[in-house]
Structure 1
Amino acid sequence: MKKNKLIQCLALFLIAAAARADDPEPRYQMPPIEITATRAPREGFDLPLATTVIAEVGRARPGLSLAESLRPVPGLFIANRHNLSQGDRLSVRGLGARAAFGVRGIKVLLDGIPLTMPDGQSQLNNLDLGSTGRIEILRGPSSSLYGNAGGGVLAAHTQALVEAGWRVEPRLIAGSNGLFRAQTSLAGRADNTHAFASVYDLRSEGYRDHADARARGLNALVGHALTPHTELTLLLHLYDAPYLFNPSSLAADAARDAPRSARGFVVGQGASKQVRQGQGGIRLEYRPPHAVHHRASSLVLYGVGRALKNPIPGRIIELDRRAGGLRTEHQFSWTSTRLVTGLDLDFQRDARREFANEGLPEGERVADERVFELVQYGDSQVDQEEQVRSFGPFVSLERDLGDALTATVGGRYDRYRFAVDDQSRDMDQFSPMVGLVYRLDPFSRWYAHVATAFQTPTTSELGNRPSGEGGFNPELGPERVLGLETGLRRHVRRVRLDLEVALYQLQIADALIPFQVESEDSEEIYFRNAGQARNRGLELSLSAVPHPGLRTTLAYTFGDYVFEDYEVETDGELVQLAGNEVPGVPRHRLFSALSYESPHGLFTEVELERVGRYWANDFNGPPPGSDAVSDEFFNSAYLRVDLRLGIDYRAARPFVAVDNLFDAQYNGSVVPNAFGGRFFEPAAGRTWRLGLSAEVGR
């Protein structure tokens, strides 16, 4: 309790100090930062919720993990699994940390096209960080705008297009653990048409054994002004991964003594993934030329196709997915009132087949796509078609209550239908929100926000049943969230300093919790609803440019995530876990960075991240009756330092980078509640990379 009060006092002191440091002049204008993830463009400084914009995503980075670019975001924890088969595990304020794979609890968009499926699962395969120029993050319950978005929103945007002419930019990166990435992007503009395209090829042997990966992709965007007031945009994203091997997790002793290793059973089962995915969309935007109240309208149509082969210990999964939908948004304004309304319609159809995994032939070890020819299929276990349909109208009304106060109210009604063969389940929820923003002065804002959220189980979570039966788990229900938040923002012009502090509390009912059954022959992850959990915390972010070319960044997160009511049966008895910490997320995380870019093009950046220890299971230690020691059940704290150096010399940009400069040994992620204590996914030690990009154009 004393530590919590100390942190809050420190945050208020920083705000007060920033306020004294500035003597605002009426003529000075802050640089506007526009946020589009709010479904109507708004200036981020005036929003009643916590936001962050990352403007430089891919510079001197390999594009393997979102953690490379999003560490400066407080409240967001990215567990880099160093495993391209499983991908990053993202959590915002503790929500999403227990995803078995992919991203849960966060709505993900790419150029306005959803990467989140109707069931709430997001696959980031189509998010090419090498061609991403900007990412917006909304933190906190966002179901009033997006439905399945209990933790927030992540909206990525393709690199800025050229104003005129054309530009070609080839890029090469090579580094440790067999990393090689080649990418070429092309951007151009002529008359009323602009276009962008990027292709890449990625190869990696991985830090750990059985972690080889190969992937390639194409991202393309073409926009055309049909009239001075109407624009049509076509988008295409293709992803092809012939093989992504999965080294899985390790017990504490193996993670400590042999972090590069993969268990023999995992290797023998050919644990891996092959993915082919295509996604296309059409966006039509209209701004009335002589509007009185109607300001803009937009329509988005999108479609997704995904083919997956996925041998895992115990099973082989084959999935053929078709999904798509429609999004509409309409903006209206009056003298002191602004209104946004719209509708989302989405569908998802998965043809799922599952077989027993008889493993690779004895003595066979492969590190490429031949694994899918050699792995031996056993008996058919599941053969079913799963469907999800969702319907979600929303409205958001903003009104100025005088010169200094603005109120926002909104809500969304979501209805989901999950169907498998002859079974179906309906889930629905109305998600309201209320927000206030008070302008203390031209450079300071206080805000408060109350919202609810609703997260359905995904089809994978519903379909994975400990009994092994087909169909959906009738006992698994949605997770519901009530969020309270308040915060302060301050801009100090003398040193171009931006400061934001946020305090929040989330009350979570029926939280979705992963677990594994006692079996040496399976690593299947199942889900159950916990009783109640409470997440609360503090977020602090600061960035400043005290001297031209010099930038400093600081982000601190404190999170107190605990179960309030959660009974688990063990050895035939119910054990109450109230008061235990929710596993998979740290209480403390600190990030700082210092960068400098000289007038001659030389740039350097140093980043430091300190992550506190956190538990790996719900028991916060050995389960009742176990003689294991507590050290085997938590992920130790760690400190890592990254360094990047480069120069912009005419049209060429060579760079060198070293990650984990001091070769710290740590685990980048845990698998909560894994059987046999196999919680830990070791991170790479010191790694290096060299890169070169060039720009040609006119």
Structure 2
Amino acid sequence: MCVISRRKRREPAATTLALALTAVLVHLPAAAQTATTLDTVEVLGTRHSLSDFPGSISVIDGDTLRAGQRQVSLAESLVRAPGITVLDRQNYAQDLQVQSRGFGARSTFGIRGMKLIVDGIPSSALDGQGQAASFPLSALDRIQVLRGPLALQYGNAAGGAIIGETAFDGRSTQVDGWIGSNSSARLAAGFEGASNDEAWRWRALGSWFTTDGDRPHSAAERSQLDAVAQYTPNDHARLRLVAGALGQPYTDDPLGLTREQWERDPHGTAAVAETFDTRKKIDNAQVGARWEDEYAQGREYWIGGYGVARDVVQFLSIPIVAQLAPSSAGGVIDLGRRSSGVDAGHRWDFGRGALTLGMEAGWLHEQRRGYENFVGDELGVRGRLRRDEDNRIRSTEAFALGEWRPAQDWTVLGAVRRSKLRFESDDHYIAPGNGDDSGSLDYGETAAALGVSRAFGEGEVFASLGHGFETPTVTELAYRPDGSAGFNTALEPAQFDTAEIGARWRFASASASVSVYRIEGEDEIVPADNRGGRASFANAGRTRREGIEAGFDGRFHPQWSYALTANFLRARFTEGFSYTVLSGGEERVQFVEAGNRIPAIPRADGYAELAWNTRDGRTSAAVEMRASDGVPTDDRNTDASPGYATFALRLQWRAGASGWHGFARVDNVFDRDYVGSVIVNEGNARFFEPGAGRGFTIGLGWHGAGG
């Protein structure tokens, strides 16, 4: 039986940091001139001037996403956003681990803690689990990375939002390809066009990627097709249509390594990965539509909808003895997810402010089956059925976003969102020792934020406060910690109170940003038990995250440029707790002490780049550096990965705005052995996922404009 214990819960402590600095802003001298707007950002469907936005946000443009990059994963570009930490597993079966101010660090697959949106279609499921592979890096024109209290308005994600957008800039055709180490290769081709009157515009791009992987048993292949069309009947309305498909045949999963295994072979693979032939297959298809109309001066509305179909088959390495337990779900996961949603909203602009009201509704139906990963003496094949259930999520949300400009250089932005989610599970596999795990659970949560910004001559300062939440995923709700049958109805959403202050500067040849924040967490979701192949979770412990993030980029000479991001984060449990695990057939209580670091979160990490280009801008070269402090592997801090720094070189060339272009790059120049990611609380102590060794890539492409 699992017992979760903790100290008496305190009422959430009000953080005064942001309020104090807000008071300081009142005493700043008036701006000598109106801040120049160099960019705009979109929050909850409405556009804002960057100089008026009182929160932390980064914009990565399309050229940066693609310049000298392999365009395979978000790990290549998200490191440029302050506050974001990307741990590249080098495991295409499990996707990246992306953290925003420490949120998402616990995710063993996919992205947790951040809302992912591509051209209006969520890449995050209603329970908060997201997939970064659906971002078409070759087609996107920019990515917004929103953090802090105002990011909480995206609902079931405490870490913020990553939003990809496609734009149209003419008629063109492009073909790109590269080859690299580990028998890796990628080919992409696309086109952009328009009708004669340019009322219709469209863009489509397809890509194919293959690799044998840096480690044994880590081969992968991925095909992707994305298309966007836009109809603009007049100067105030538009219809946007989006479609995409991703196919990833069985991708080998090399699993994590124990410390002994990693030290013996830093690029090795766990033997059980090949014994059970661990692998994963993904098929994803999505469509969406959105209509926007500014039907009157200062009045606009939008309405949209989407549908997503996702199918996953995954072979795990669960030992046969564990799979034979009556309560086991087996060693093969076979699930199909069908989700859909609609959203609508209206914005009113007034003389000194604006009001936006909106609603969203979503539905998800998951058919999940589990099978044994053996037949007789043969391993790595689908065996007997051991799990069969239908899971459903229904979500209804309403939000309001208000903007007020009390004076020329001041902006106040407030937002509130009310979310209702219903989880249901119908268990169709009931057998001796495996009871009925059906059940339902309702959550009703409110997120709210308030921010204020003050513009000055070359930028702005801001402060904000907010409250947000994260619900459990379907997987976390599946089983009860005490081993009894039924839905885990005792599991509560995690709650977070956030405060931040920050500043941005934009000069003619440089820009900079810095933010200081504090986040108080309660009811964090942690592993509680893992027996017979059934993992269960519980709420335990309070947490605190205190950090500083900064970003700088610019030119100190017409031929020299630089970029730098740095993150410093103190993330700890402020309240002790305990949970029970089953090890070697015996129950053992694990104690987590107050003051322990939250696992997988580095205390310091960052990215630096120094680039040179010829006077005509057609050729450039750069050196890149990524560095990270070591991270704890589990709640009890029994082990930790070592820190590291890696370097990369890249060279680019292009004939001009159109024509031929090429690049070459060397990653991990000094062939450093390092841990790219850790698997938090891994039951077999296989915590460590090795980073890739030295790798070479060379690419060539052609871009034709006009037509």
Would the TM-score normalized by the shorter structure come out above 0.5?
Answer: yes
For 1:202, which of 196, 205, 209 is the aligned residue? 209
- Give me the whole-angstrom Cα distance separating, in 2, the residues matched to 1:50 and 1:93: 11
For 1:620, which of 598, 619, 637 is the aligned residue? 637
Partner-residue secondary structure (3-state), 2:343: strand
Distance 1:269 1:576, change over 3 A: closer
Distance 1:134 1:464, change over 3 A: farther
Bigger shift: residues 103-112 or 255-264: 255-264
Match in the other structure for 2:305: 301
Distance 1:516 1:69, change over 3 A: farther
Partner-residue secondary structure (3-state), 1:460: helix
Deviation at 1:271, TM superposition (A): 1.0
Match in the other structure for 1:553: 563
Q: Does 1:237 align with 2:244?
A: yes
Deviation at 1:512, TM superposition (A): 1.6
Q: Does 1:311 align with 2:315?
A: yes
Bigger shift: residues 325-334 or 684-693: 325-334
CA contact 1:180–1:204 (8 Å) conserved in 2: yes
1:526-541 paired onto structure 2 within 5 Å:
526-541=536-551
Match in the other structure for 1:188: 193
Match in the other structure for 2:52: 46
- Give me the whole-angstrom Cα distance separating, in 2, the residues matched to 1:414 and 1:580: 32
Match in the other structure for 2:521: 508
For 2:131, which of 120, 123, 146 is the aligned residue? 123
Letter in 2 for 1:450: L
Deviation at 1:544, TM superposition (A): 1.5
Q: Which runs of 5+ in 1 are unaligned?
A: 1-7, 13-18, 363-373, 622-632
Match in the other structure for 1:15: none
Match in the other structure for 1:282: 289
Deviation at 1:405, TM superposition (A): 2.5
Distance 1:226 1:525, change over 3 A: farther
CA contact 1:336–1:400 (8 Å) conserved in 2: yes
Deviation at 1:470, TM superposition (A): 6.9
Q: Does 1:344 align with 2:360?
A: yes
Q: Does 1:377 align with 2:392?
A: no
Match in the other structure for 1:456: 471
1:359-374 paired onto structure 2 within 5 Å:
362=378
Matched length: 645
TM-score normalised according to structure 1 size: 0.88
Bigger shift: residues 344-353 or 258-267: 258-267
Distance 1:614 1:137, change over 3 A: same
1:132-281 paired onto structure 2 within 5 Å:
132-142=140-150, 144-158=152-166, 160-163=167-170, 166-190=171-195, 191=197, 192-281=199-288
Match in the other structure for 2:394: 389
* Pairwise CA RMSD: 2.4
- Give me the whole-angstrom Cα distance separating, in 1, the residues matched to 2:245 and 2:589: 50
Distance 1:154 1:72, change over 3 A: same
Match in the other structure for 2:323: none
Letter in 2 for 1:502: S
Letter in 2 for 1:303: G
Deviation at 1:153, TM superposition (A): 0.7
CA contact 2:150–2:415 (8 Å) conserved in 1: no
Partner-residue secondary structure (3-state), 1:634: coil
CA contact 2:592–2:636 (8 Å) conserved in 1: no
Match in the other structure for 1:498: 511
Q: Does 1:607 align with 2:624?
A: yes
Q: Does 1:487 align with 2:502?
A: yes
For 1:577, which of 564, 584, 593 is the aligned residue? 593
Partner-residue secondary structure (3-state), 1:613: coil
CA contact 1:37–1:153 (8 Å) conserved in 2: no
Deviation at 1:379, TM superposition (A): 3.1
Q: Does 1:402 align with 2:410?
A: no
Letter in 1 for 2:627: R
Deviation at 1:161, TM superposition (A): 2.2
- Give me the whole-angstrom Cα distance separating, in 2, the residues matched to 1:135 and 1:384: 37
- Give me the whole-angstrom Cα distance separating, in 2, the residues matched to 1:251 and 1:608: 27
Partner-residue secondary structure (3-state), 2:519: strand
Deviation at 1:213, TM superposition (A): 0.6
Match in the other structure for 1:431: 447
Distance 1:573 1:645, change over 3 A: closer
Letter in 2 for 1:474: T
Partner-residue secondary structure (3-state), 2:285: strand
For 2:371, which of 352, 355, 359 is the aligned residue? 355
Bigger shift: residues 388-397 or 416-425: 416-425
Bigger shift: residues 141-150 or 261-270: 141-150
Distance 1:697 1:402, change over 3 A: closer
Letter in 2 for 1:351: Q
Partner-residue secondary structure (3-state), 1:116: coil
Deviation at 1:168, TM superposition (A): 0.8
Letter in 2 for 1:507: E
- Give me the whole-angstrom Cα distance separating, in 2, the residues matched to 1:61 and 1:470: 49
Bigger shift: residues 169-178 or 472-481: 472-481
Partner-residue secondary structure (3-state), 2:69: coil
Letter in 2 for 1:454: F
CA contact 1:58–1:132 (8 Å) conserved in 2: no
Distance 1:462 1:354, change over 3 A: same
Deviation at 1:32, TM superposition (A): 1.7
CA contact 2:68–2:650 (8 Å) conserved in 1: yes
Bigger shift: residues 178-187 or 221-230: 221-230
Deviation at 1:529, TM superposition (A): 1.9
Partner-residue secondary structure (3-state), 1:125: helix
Distance 1:114 1:549, change over 3 A: farther
CA contact 1:203–1:214 (8 Å) conserved in 2: yes
Q: Does 1:542 align with 2:545?
A: no
- Per-residue CA deviation, residues 454-486 of structure 1 (Å, 9 max, x unaligned), is 111111222255677775322322111110111
Deviation at 1:547, TM superposition (A): 2.6
Deviation at 1:359, TM superposition (A): 7.0
CA contact 1:382–1:470 (8 Å) conserved in 2: no
Match in the other structure for 2:613: 597
Deviation at 1:543, TM superposition (A): 1.2
- Per-residue CA deviation, residues 654-675 of structure 1 (Å, 9 max, x unaligned), is 1100111111110100001112
TM-score normalised according to structure 2 size: 0.87
Bigger shift: residues 506-515 or 683-692: 506-515
- Give me the whole-angstrom Cα distance separating, in 2, the residues matched to 1:682 and 1:549: 36
- Give me the whole-angstrom Cα distance separating, in 1, the residues matched to 2:564 and 2:535: 36
Q: Does 1:472 align with 2:487?
A: yes
CA contact 1:645–1:657 (8 Å) conserved in 2: yes
- Per-residue CA deviation, residues 320-351 of structure 1 (Å, 9 max, x unaligned), is 11101012232111111111111110110001
Match in the other structure for 2:652: 646
- Give me the whole-angstrom Cα distance separating, in 1, the residues matched to 2:40 and 2:218: 40
Deviation at 1:576, TM superposition (A): 4.6
Letter in 2 for 1:69: S
More contact order relative to length (CA 8 Å, sep ≥ 6): 2
CA contact 2:116–2:123 (8 Å) conserved in 1: yes
Partner-residue secondary structure (3-state), 1:677: coil
Partner-residue secondary structure (3-state), 1:117: coil
CA contact 2:152–2:160 (8 Å) conserved in 1: no
Deviation at 1:142, TM superposition (A): 4.6
- Give me the whole-angstrom Cα distance separating, in 1, the residues matched to 2:313 and 2:405: 53
- Per-residue CA deviation, residues 359-406 of structure 1 (Å, 9 max, x unaligned), is 7965xxxxxxxxxxx843333221110000111100011111223322
Deviation at 1:590, TM superposition (A): 2.4
Match in the other structure for 2:13: none
Deviation at 1:500, TM superposition (A): 1.1
Distance 1:303 1:360, change over 3 A: farther
Deviation at 1:42, TM superposition (A): 0.8
Deviation at 1:60, TM superposition (A): 2.1
